[in-house]
Structure 1
Amino acid sequence: MIAFVALWPLPGIAEGVLVLGALYAAVRMVQLRLQGNQRLLSSPAWALTSILFLGYWLPQAFSAFDAIDPGTAWRKAAAGLRYLPFMWLVAIAVATPQRRALTLGGLAVITGLWTVDALAQAIVGSSPLFWSMDQLKWAVSGHGLCSPQEMAAADRLSGVLGPCNLKFGQVLASLSPFLLFAASRRAGILGWSLAAAAVGVVLVLAGSRAAWLTYALVLVFSGWRLIGVRGLLACIAVGAVAAVALAVTVPQVGDRVARTAMAWEGENDGVNQALSGRAQIWAAAACMIEEHPINGVGARGFRDAYPGCNPAPTTQDVWGAGPALHAHQILLEILSETGILGLLLWLAAVAQAWRAWRFAPPQAREHARPAMLALAVTVFPLNTHLAFYSTFWGGLTLLLAALYAGSLLAKDDR
């Protein structure tokens, strides 16, 4: 599982690790179940992990029956089955105190290394980790991980994921609870403060406004129990001053702040510009929901349905050429691609996750708190999002869901 996360900068290899891990977990779990042996995973953890998977996968499967592109939808649904044994494997990785310490500690180390690497990129202009992988790629295949056009077009701190995969801000924000909780356990308030400041600087430079909101939630819910309300307000004030300083001195940050301010101009175009075209995308999503209310246009079918629902087909899109690929908002993505049926299934899974938290003992909640916070801020509905039915972001979300279920219902807490 740690190898899967560490290899995210190399998506193809990471996907191969996921598939191999899923195959191993499937074979091993079946063997143990047939033998009546449940040593690897408690029954409640196994059940909750499976329920969370079904809440994600069943909407995808039901949406394929009359999808815009049925062939692609059914292939995606079939491929999505690999996530179930993978989630079992992740839950097993946190099922005992020793495994949980190793797994969560490994995630904290990876997040810390990626943060330090991004700070180095801010200073020297290139991510040392990405540069090393890129040089290796050149030596092996004669070309780099990114094209020259992608390298030149990058307008933000890209970190270890590189300029051709500008998701670093959202990824780091979602993983930040593992680093902050580990730092607070090791060094108390000082450790939490230093880690929070380092991640905060990187996220501001990474330029993702969705990641800014995600990280603000992480700071609030990880910090208030540690430093209290007054300390948290002081932390937020210092962070705001630092963010303003970066906005003034770093052109890319200032550009995003200026673009956000366009929302207060009071005109629809200003709001659309401030949201990088998302107001137009959300209007198209509403059109799809109206036309396909039961089971949507099909998981990952947004791009195919977009031309028929584009509210401004004759104007140049803010994001450039090509259709919008997804709704950029979790509720609109679920409703437009999987319909009301899909939303109900998602909500049923959320209800089971909340019920498990509500009835878990305090010690189990404490063990699961980093994963719970990471999952909660990743799916926080009052934000913009990456595509939850894409391979990368879907895998990240289900990883966090399995970490939550496995940590909360670990065998040592039953």
Structure 2
Amino acid sequence: MILLLLVPVLLPFGRTAEAPLSIAAIIGVILLLRQHGVWRKSASLGLMLLLFACYWLPAFFSAFDSVVPAKSWETVAGDLRFLPFAVFAGYALRQTNIWPRMQCLIALIVLVWLLDAWLQILTGFSLGGAADKEHLSGIFGADNLKLGPVLAVLSPFLLLEARARFSRTGLIAAFLFLLVPILLAGERASWLSFALVCLIMLWRETRAPLRFAVWCMAALTGACFVAAIAWQTSPGFAARMQRSLLVLQGTHSAVDEASAGRLRIWHTALAMGAAHPLNGVGVRGFRYAYATYAEPGDFFVDPVTHEGASHAHQLLLELFSETGLIGVFAWLIGAWFAIRAWWRADVPTRLRALAPGLALVAMCFPLNTHLAFYSAWWGLLFWWLLALYCAALQSESHEVTTHVA
């Protein structure tokens, strides 16, 4: 369990989170080799294999005619580590009595990040140093602006733990404690992700349309009040809001500026996918193919290196442009398997899987912008959550009792 917890603990510190993941993956390989007869009976391993195939095979097929073969094949080879890591997670979390402590400790990690973020709000400094001009950066630092997306994605762990320990009062307090740093982090994608998490949590609390609407209005009122204060007190947040409001002008250029140039990136991604509809330009080949498909005068194109935007900033467009229709359909199949596993589970199993499952919904919700799912950092967090989700759906009748000698 310690290795699993070290992954989020080390997330703010660059690629250091690869160390516990790699150690866990090595142990996972040993488990697969030495205990294969027992692991074949594991329900979680079957789901892991299906989801891994839906993730890895599109990258594999995209690499054969990639615009940058070395980068694509390096990614394909590196992604192999996620399967044995998921196997290790299933083994480490095979006993159901571990889960309450595991979820509590993850919530505690998020809480520490939040306390650090609030310290930066109040003083301008945190463990990660001084804040960025427009973004609250927290423990991640001003040169690694991922605080907002990570807090939004991992917020279910803290919200559910607060609800379990302190009832609805704790849930409301956790919501407000998360809301301010996520807003000031300035990533609009994280605002949408957190809003989605809150909507699902509110429906879980109310279970009735009228009460749900009332709670939603109360939450929206609170969020607007906090946003109004932030607008008056935070120049960075005000700048982000003023840029966002440009979308109300309705013109293409205004919408493009409001989205920080996302429209031109998305148009280019569509052009890439249309030119390579079967298997895309190659996983992680987006920036290298960008200049070929970008419109003239695109400011994302570097005139020296002729490279462009690093990724498509949208999950479906990342899949279509880099892995083609193979990738889009494979991920849809994977989503279906993951949802089917949830619906087939009993109530106690669903409760165990709720936090990582809700985090995955927030992370992958298609009507949003995203970080790159085949990148080393975001892909690692994605597979950490997937591993927890698969392990949580492992029923007691399938617990593995073997051990590594």
Same fold by TM (over 0.5)? yes
Equivalent in 337, 343, 362 of residue 328 of structure 2? 343
> Which amino acid in structure 1 is aligned with residue 18 of structure 2?
E
- Once the two structures are TM-superposed, the CA of residue 155 in structure 1 deviates from its matched residue by 2.6
The answer to whether the 8 A contact 1:53-1:398 is kept is no
* DSSP-derived class of the 1:220 partner: helix
The answer to whether the 8 A contact 1:57-1:77 is kept is yes
User: CA 1:315/1:63 → structure 2, altered by over 3 Å: closer, same or farther?
Assistant: closer
Q: Could you tell which deviates more after superposition, 327-336 or 241-250?
A: 241-250
Residues in 2 aligned to 1:319 and 1:396: alpha-carbon distance in whole angstroms: 29
* DSSP-derived class of the 1:298 partner: coil
User: CA 1:42/1:255 → structure 2, altered by over 3 Å: closer, same or farther?
Assistant: farther
The residue that corresponds to 1:196 in the other structure is: 175
Correspondence 1:214-233 to 2 at 5 A: 214-226=193-205, 228-229=211-212, 230-233=214-217
- Once the two structures are TM-superposed, the CA of residue 99 in structure 1 deviates from its matched residue by 2.3
The residue that corresponds to 2:128 in the other structure is: 130
Residues in 1 aligned to 2:28 and 2:265: alpha-carbon distance in whole angstroms: 39
The residue that corresponds to 1:169 in the other structure is: 148
The answer to whether the 8 A contact 1:210-1:385 is kept is yes
Residues in 1 aligned to 2:265 and 2:109: alpha-carbon distance in whole angstroms: 34
Cα-to-partner distance string for 1:211-256 (whole Å, 9 max, x where unaligned): 0000001111113322552234212211121112212221111111
Equivalent in 392, 407, 413 of residue 377 of structure 2? 392
Cα-to-partner distance string for 1:8-60 (whole Å, 9 max, x where unaligned): 12223211221111111211232122xx335xx96111110121111111111
Structure 2 unaligned segments of length 5 or more: list them. Answer: 400-405
The residue that corresponds to 1:135 in the other structure is: none
Residues in 1 aligned to 2:141 and 2:49: alpha-carbon distance in whole angstroms: 34
* DSSP-derived class of the 2:283 partner: coil
* DSSP-derived class of the 1:64 partner: helix
> Which amino acid in structure 2 is aligned with residue 254 of structure 1?
A
> Which amino acid in structure 2 is aligned with residue 186 of structure 1?
R
User: CA 1:123/1:153 → structure 2, altered by over 3 Å: closer, same or farther?
Assistant: closer
The answer to whether the 8 A contact 1:96-1:410 is kept is no
User: CA 1:72/1:85 → structure 2, altered by over 3 Å: closer, same or farther?
Assistant: same
Matched, 1:240 2:224: yes
- Once the two structures are TM-superposed, the CA of residue 320 in structure 1 deviates from its matched residue by 11
Equivalent in 270, 282, 307 of residue 291 of structure 2? 307
Cα-to-partner distance string for 1:310-358 (whole Å, 9 max, x where unaligned): 12x3253499996100000000000000000111111111111111112
* DSSP-derived class of the 1:65 partner: helix
Residues in 2 aligned to 1:278 and 1:225: alpha-carbon distance in whole angstroms: 34
> Which amino acid in structure 2 is aligned with residue 11 of structure 1?
G
Matched, 1:283 2:298: no
- Once the two structures are TM-superposed, the CA of residue 361 in structure 1 deviates from its matched residue by 1.4
Matched, 1:80 2:74: no
Equivalent in 332, 336, 354 of residue 369 of structure 1? 354
> Which amino acid in structure 1 is aligned with residue 90 of structure 2?
A
The residue that corresponds to 2:403 in the other structure is: none
Residues in 2 aligned to 1:411 and 1:26: alpha-carbon distance in whole angstroms: 23
Matched, 1:357 2:342: yes
The residue that corresponds to 1:14 in the other structure is: 17
* DSSP-derived class of the 2:195 partner: helix
Identity percentage over the alignment? Answer: 38
- Once the two structures are TM-superposed, the CA of residue 91 in structure 1 deviates from its matched residue by 2.9
User: CA 1:245/1:303 → structure 2, altered by over 3 Å: closer, same or farther?
Assistant: same
> Which amino acid in structure 2 is aligned with residue 37 of structure 1?
V
Residues in 2 aligned to 1:223 and 1:111: alpha-carbon distance in whole angstroms: 20
Q: Could you tell which deviates more after superposition, 46-55 or 151-160?
A: 151-160
User: CA 1:402/1:14 → structure 2, altered by over 3 Å: closer, same or farther?
Assistant: same
> Which amino acid in structure 2 is aligned with residue 323 of structure 1?
G
CA-based RMSD: 2.1
Correspondence 1:130-169 to 2 at 5 A: 130-131=128-129, 154-169=133-148
Q: Could you tell which deviates more after superposition, 236-245 or 291-300?
A: 236-245
- Once the two structures are TM-superposed, the CA of residue 259 in structure 1 deviates from its matched residue by 0.8
User: CA 1:318/1:170 → structure 2, altered by over 3 Å: closer, same or farther?
Assistant: farther
- Once the two structures are TM-superposed, the CA of residue 413 in structure 1 deviates from its matched residue by 8.3
- Once the two structures are TM-superposed, the CA of residue 387 in structure 1 deviates from its matched residue by 0.5
Residues in 1 aligned to 2:388 and 2:145: alpha-carbon distance in whole angstroms: 25
The residue that corresponds to 1:136 in the other structure is: none
Residues in 1 aligned to 2:256 and 2:333: alpha-carbon distance in whole angstroms: 33
Residues in 1 aligned to 2:50 and 2:277: alpha-carbon distance in whole angstroms: 24
- Once the two structures are TM-superposed, the CA of residue 71 in structure 1 deviates from its matched residue by 1.5
Residues in 1 aligned to 2:241 and 2:41: alpha-carbon distance in whole angstroms: 48
Residues in 2 aligned to 1:85 and 1:102: alpha-carbon distance in whole angstroms: 23
User: CA 1:42/1:193 → structure 2, altered by over 3 Å: closer, same or farther?
Assistant: farther
- TM-score norm. by structure 2 comes to 0.91
Residues in 1 aligned to 2:342 and 2:131: alpha-carbon distance in whole angstroms: 46
Structure 1 unaligned segments of length 5 or more: list them. Answer: 132-150
Q: Could you tell which deviates more after superposition, 67-76 or 226-235?
A: 226-235
Residues in 1 aligned to 2:222 and 2:125: alpha-carbon distance in whole angstroms: 27
The answer to whether the 8 A contact 1:298-1:338 is kept is yes
Correspondence 1:237-276 to 2 at 5 A: 237-276=221-260
- Once the two structures are TM-superposed, the CA of residue 153 in structure 1 deviates from its matched residue by 5.8
Matched, 1:111 2:110: yes
Correspondence 1:175-190 to 2 at 5 A: 175-190=154-169
* DSSP-derived class of the 1:37 partner: helix
Q: Which contiguous aligned blocks of 4+ residues in structure 1 show a shift greater than 4 angstroms?
A: 151-154, 317-322
The answer to whether the 8 A contact 1:277-1:318 is kept is no
The answer to whether the 8 A contact 2:302-2:308 is kept is no
Work out the number of aligned pairs and report it: 389
- Once the two structures are TM-superposed, the CA of residue 360 in structure 1 deviates from its matched residue by 1.3
